Chain A
Amino acid sequence: MIQEDMRVMTHEEIADHIFELKLQGQMVQQITEPGQFVHVRISGKTDAVAPLLRRPISICSADLKSGTLTLIYRSGGLGTGTELLTHAQIGDTVDVLGPLGHGFPVSEAPTPARALIVGGGVGVPPLYGLSQALAKRGIQVTHVLGFRSAKDVFYQTDFEELGKTFVMTEDGTYGRCGRVTDLLETVPFDIAYACGPTPMLRALEQTIIDKPLFVSLEQRMACGIGACMACVTQTTDPNDAKGYRRVCCDGPVFKAREVEL
Chain B
Amino acid sequence: MIEVHLPGLDLKNPVMPASGCFAFGAEYGALYDLNELGAVTIKAATLQPRFGNSTPRVAETPSGMLNAIGLQNPGADQIIKNELPRLEKQKVPVLANIAGSEVDDYVATAKKISRHPAVNALELNISCPNVKHGGIQFGTVPEVAAELTYKVKAVSEKPVYVKLSPNVTDIVAMAKAVEAAGADGLSMINTLLGMRIDLHTQKPVLANLTGGLSGPAIKPVAIRMIYEVSQKVTIPIIGMGGIQNADDVIEFFLAGASAVAVGTANFVDPFVCPKIIKELPEKLNTMGVTDINEIIGRSWKK
Contact = CB atoms under 8 A, between A and B. Distances in A.
A222 B58 contact: yes
Contact of A229 (B23, B31, B62): B23
A222 to B, nearest CB: 4
Most B CB contacts (10 A, CB to CB) among A221, A230, A233, A234 go to: A230
Contact of B72 (A223, A232, A249): A232
B27 A226 contact: yes
Interface in A225-258: 225-234, 242-244, 249
Nearest to A95: B269
B21 interface: yes
A201 to B, nearest CB: 15
B57 A220 contact: yes
A227 B21 contact: yes
Given A226-B23, A230-B69, A52 B60 contact: yes
Given A226-B23, A229-B72, A52 B58 contact: no
B51 interface: yes
A228 B271 CA distance: 15
Interface string B164-177: 00000000000000
Interface string A32-64: 000000000100000001011110000000000
Contact of B69 (A51, A53, A228, A233): A228
Best-buried of A1, A225, A229 by chain B (most CB within 10 Å): A229
B216 A52 contact: yes
B34 to A, nearest CB: 13
Contact of B27 (A51, A225, A230): A225
Contacts of A54: 267-268
Interface residues of A, number: 30
A249 B65 CA distance: 21
Interface in B263-281: 264, 266-271
Contacts, number: 89
Contacts of B22: 227
Given A53-B60, A53-B267, A220 B55 contact: yes
A100 B60 CA distance: 21
B56 interface: yes
B23 to A, nearest CB: 4
A233 B58 contact: no
A228 B55 CA distance: 13
Nearest to B22: A227
Contacts of B269: 3, 41
Contacts of A232: 52, 55, 57, 72
A97 B270 contact: yes
A230 B57 contact: yes
Given A53-B60, A227-B22, A229-B69, A1 B268 contact: no
B270 A228 contact: no
B64 A230 contact: no
Contacts of B216: 52
Contacts of B23: 226-229
Contacts of B69: 228-230
A225 to B, nearest CB: 5
A173 interface: no
A3 B268 contact: no
Contact of A221 (B31, B58, B264, B271): B58
B6 interface: no
A219 B55 CA distance: 8
A234 B215 CA distance: 28
A220 B65 contact: no
Given A3-B270, A223-B267, A53 B65 contact: yes
B269 to A, nearest CB: 7
Interface of B: 20-23, 27-28, 31, 43, 51-52, 55-60, 62-65, 67, 69, 72, 74, 215-216, 264, 266-271
10 contacts: A49-B63, A53-B58, A53-B65, A222-B67, A227-B22, A229-B43, A229-B52, A230-B58, A231-B55, A232-B55
Enumerate the 3 nearest inter-chain pairs by beta-carbon distance, A residue then B residue, closest first. Answer: A230-B58, A223-B267, A227-B27
